[in-house]
Amino acid sequence: MTNVYDNILGLIGNTPLVKLNHVTKDIPATVYAKLESYNPGHSTKDRIALHIIENAEKKGLIKPDSVIVETTSGNTGFSIAMVCIVKGYKCILAVSDKTKAEKIAYLKALGATVYVCPASVPADDPRSYYEVAKRIASETPNSVYINQYFNELNIDAHYQTTGPELWNQTDGKITHVFACTGTGGTLSGTAKYLKEQNPDIKVVGVDADGSILKTYHETGKINKTEIHPYQIEGLGKNLIPGALLFDKIDEYVRVNDEMSAYRTREIALKEAIMGGYTTGAVTQALIQYANSHEFKSDDLVVLIFPDHGSRYITKVYSDKWMEEQGFINNCFHNYDEIFKT
């Protein structure tokens, strides 16, 4: 029997690469998107949820009744909730209040208990989702705190799966990899593996306007004046994650809400790929990078598309939301032509 699985977790990983034929056509390289939405939980986070929970099982840290606790902007929560159902654990999640109501409903539909915490407070404030998750984990017997921002297994999940997949899918011809960094796990683990195969592969991290990661990579310093609220979920940080291997990243590109939103919509319209907001962010980063770097025709670029657009229907895919942000009309002179509905 082929393509038959014991449970939904068997579908995690081995996601496809799809060539971008229109949005990046001005760049001479071949550009592929790795569609992490093909994981059963519809994002790259399935890989880390499975890896971290199975590691805890192997170490005997969790028993059938155990509670798995995490902070999450959504995707990691869906993945942990999914793994918990199949494996019979309880799932408690602390999320930021930037998270859309439909994401919270989705988490609850997967059986998770959800605590909504303010995004606007510093990471060390007792109301922040980091502190709330830590407190729940310390107060709940038999609990495991996934701690994706500071868990080396987050990196290891991608070192063991995403990196080898990209190397094999491209027959070792990959020359550049671009990924959005939130925890940093995706890019760090992927880059660590790929650079072991070929140290010349260029690794480009994507940061958000309003986040400190790019400046930290360049100067080793946190510039608190750069921190401001922004709309892209899952990208950038106001703290330095331990799961981010800065030395594996050659360069950082910073993108803003507006251009990333436009790019997300453009990818849907021109490539028929419904990606999440960071799909637009990583593509915008490549386009900005190409303004100051030469590409050759035999370069093979991979953009990691972390999740599916169905989670952003009332956000970046909503014309009303785009108008509320002031993006429509301000962004592109031919916006009406591109986004005619």
Structural contact between residues 328 and 192, judged by C-beta atoms closer than 8 angstroms: no
Cβ neighbours of residue 209 closer than 8 Å, sequence gap 6 or more: 230, 254, 255, 256, 257
For residue 1, the minimal CB distance to ligand PMP (Å) is 33
Structural contact between residues 43 and 157, judged by C-beta atoms closer than 8 angstroms: no
For residue 184, the minimal CB distance to ligand PMP (Å) is 5
CA pseudo-torsion sign 288, 234, 100, 128: negative
For residue 168, the minimal CB distance to ligand PMP (Å) is 20
Q: Which is nearer to ligand PMP, 163 or 185 (CB)?
A: 185
Structural contact between residues 45 and 75, judged by C-beta atoms closer than 8 angstroms: yes
Give CA separation, 171 vs 28, 166, 338, in Å.
Answer: 20, 8, 36
Q: Which is nearer to ligand PMP, 66 or 276 (CB)?
A: 276
Provide DSSP, 84-138.
HHHHT-EEEEEEETTS-HHHHHHHHHTT-EEEEE-SSS-TTSTTSHHHHHHHHHH
For residue 149, the minimal CB distance to ligand PMP (Å) is 8
Structural contact between residues 306 and 234, judged by C-beta atoms closer than 8 angstroms: yes
Q: Which is nearer to ligand PMP, 182 or 210 (CB)?
A: 182
Give the separation between CA 307 and CA 43, rounded to whole angstroms: 4
For residue 186, the minimal CB distance to ligand PMP (Å) is 3
Q: Which is nearer to ligand PMP, 37 or 66 (CB)?
A: 37
Q: Which is nearer to ligand PMP, 161 or 181 (CB)?
A: 181
Nearest to 71 by CA among 11, 112, 13: 112
Which residue number is nearest to ligand PMP in terms of Cβ?
234
Give the separation between CA 323 and CA 336, rounded to whole angstroms: 12
Q: Quick one: angle between helices 45-58 and 152-160, nearest 10?
A: 110
Q: Which is nearer to ligand PMP, 68 or 309 (CB)?
A: 309
Pairing of strands 300-305, 30-35: parallel
Contacts 24+ apart (CB under 8 A), 332-339: 332/262, 338/265, 338/266, 338/269, 339/265, 339/269
For residue 281, the minimal CB distance to ligand PMP (Å) is 8
Give the separation between CA 146 and CA 274, rounded to whole angstroms: 29
Residue ranges that bind ligand PMP, judged by CB under 6 A: 73, 75, 180-186, 233-235, 276, 278, 306-307
Radius of gyration of the chain measured on its C-alpha atoms: 19
Q: Which is nearer to ligand PMP, 66 or 148 (CB)?
A: 148
Active site residue 173: no
> Which candidate in 34, 45, 202, 315 is catalytic?
45
For residue 266, the minimal CB distance to ligand PMP (Å) is 17
Annotated catalytic residues are 45
